[in-house]
Amino acid sequence: MDVYGLVGNPVGHSVSPPMHEAAYAELELDASYVAFEPAVEEVADALEGAETLGIAGLNVTIPFKQDVLEYLEADPLAERIGAVNTIDFRADGEPVGYNTDAIGITRSFEHHGVELDGRKAVVVGAGGAGRAAAFALSDAGCEVHIANRTVDKAIDLASQVPHASGGSLETLDSQLAEASVLLNATSVGMKSDETPVSGELLHGELTVLDAVYAPLETRLLRDAREAGADTVDGAWMLLFQGVEAFELWTGRDAPVDAMNRVLREELTH
């Protein structure tokens, strides 16, 4: 049996185990997916133990996405982003780290028929999700503007991303007027009726992706729909980062429909 898993702290809330288990069941794979919660200071021991035990692959979540870079070889995208969320232990030599969050973003837009090349995109937030979003959208051909509460952080990130600019949240007014893609990469709206972007700034030429997936319909997405914009909820990003990890590990096409069905059941029950 191949064993895969998730390492983070905490991980009790994660919906990754049932999503991946659904994929194994759909394809009749002899595999299982387990959540691991090492102490924050013990991530190195956790990775060494996983490799020793023959774990085939791990997803990585908060607070370890940056810490694990020290203990593996990162692929070029993960190295540029500065974070790893998927590890493959079966490569020759040391484990290889990937960032499937970025790929999950572009696959979410592709799934909804959104053309990114040549578009103007606005990313709200310059943290981990914001970094993945900025690089993903830039690599897909977008001109990217990063708006963040801490301006210096937005400007610093923009300096690392091709075709990007950075500024304060006050720049959203002028930047969104010219944009066709908006991605919220902050936690604003998570289990609350808040939004990081005033509904007055939204318009019908936008496609809005909210990385927040609890609730599935955030206030930002409601406001966007009322403004005539197309919307993509955060579960799609969560789904496709998992799909990419599954395909990296197994070399098989992921059963996307089965994974999506179970994921949404978990998020709404």
Q: What is the pLDDT of residues 169-192, one digit of tens each?
A: 999 999 999 999 999 999 999 999
Contact 147, 174 (CB under 8 A): no
Give first-to-last CA distance, the chain, whole Å.
Answer: 30
- The whole-angstrom separation of Cα 192 and Cα 59 is 27
Q: What is the pLDDT of residue 90?
A: 78
Q: Are 128 and 64 in contact (CB under 8 A)?
A: no
**What is the rounded average pLDDT for all residues in the chain?**
96
Instruction: Encode pLDDT of 88-120 as tens digits.
Output: 997 666 899 999 999 999 999 999 999 999 999
Q: Among all chains, which residue has been given the structure tokens 């020793």?
A: 52
Mapping DSSP to helix (H, G, I), strand (E, B) and coil, where does residue 145 land? strand
* Type of residue at 87: I
The pLDDT of 188-209, averaged and rounded, is 97
Q: Which CATH superfamily hosts domain 102-232?
A: NAD(P)-binding Rossmann-like Domain (3.40.50.720)
Question: Which residues are 3's β-sheet partners?
Answer: 32
**Which residues fall within 8 angstroms of residue 84, CB to CB, at 6 or more apart?**
60, 65, 68, 69, 72, 74, 78, 97, 98, 99
Q: What is the pLDDT of residue 91?
A: 66
Based on C-alpha coordinates, what's the Rg of the chain?
A: 18
65 part of the active site: yes
Domain ranges of the chain: 2-98+236-268, 102-232
Question: Cα separation of 106 and 146, whole Å?
Answer: 17
Residue at token pair 């007014």: 173
pLDDT at 208 over 90: yes
Can you tell me the distance from the alpha carbon of 21 to that of 255, in angstroms, rounded to the nearest whole number? Answer: 11
Q: Would you state the torsion angle of the CA atoms of residues 68, 89, 20, 9, taken in this order, to the nearest 10 degrees?
A: -20
Q: What is the pLDDT of residue 94?
A: 83
- Give the residue among 241, 231, 188 at the shortest CA–CA distance from 206: 231
Domains 2-98+236-268 and 102-232 are alike in CATH topology: yes
Instruction: Give me the pLDDT at residue 269, please.
Output: 82
Count CA within 13 A, CB hemisphere, residue 67: 18
Are 35 and 61 in contact by the 8 Å Cβ rule? The answer is no
Of the residues 65, 120, 153, 191, only one is catalytic, namely 65
Q: Which helix (DSSP H) or strand (DSSP E) does residue 138 occupy? A: helix 128-139
Closest CA to 189 of 164, 206, 162, 208: 208
For residues 99 and 85, give the distance between their C-alpha atoms in angstroms, rounded to a whole number.
5
Mean pLDDT across the stretch 139-161? 98
* Residue 123 confidence (pLDDT): 98
- 2-98+236-268 CATH pick, 3.40.50.10860, 2.40.128.110, 3.60.150.10, 1.10.3720.10: 3.40.50.10860
Task: Give the span between the Cα atoms of 76 and 87, in whole angstroms.
Answer: 14
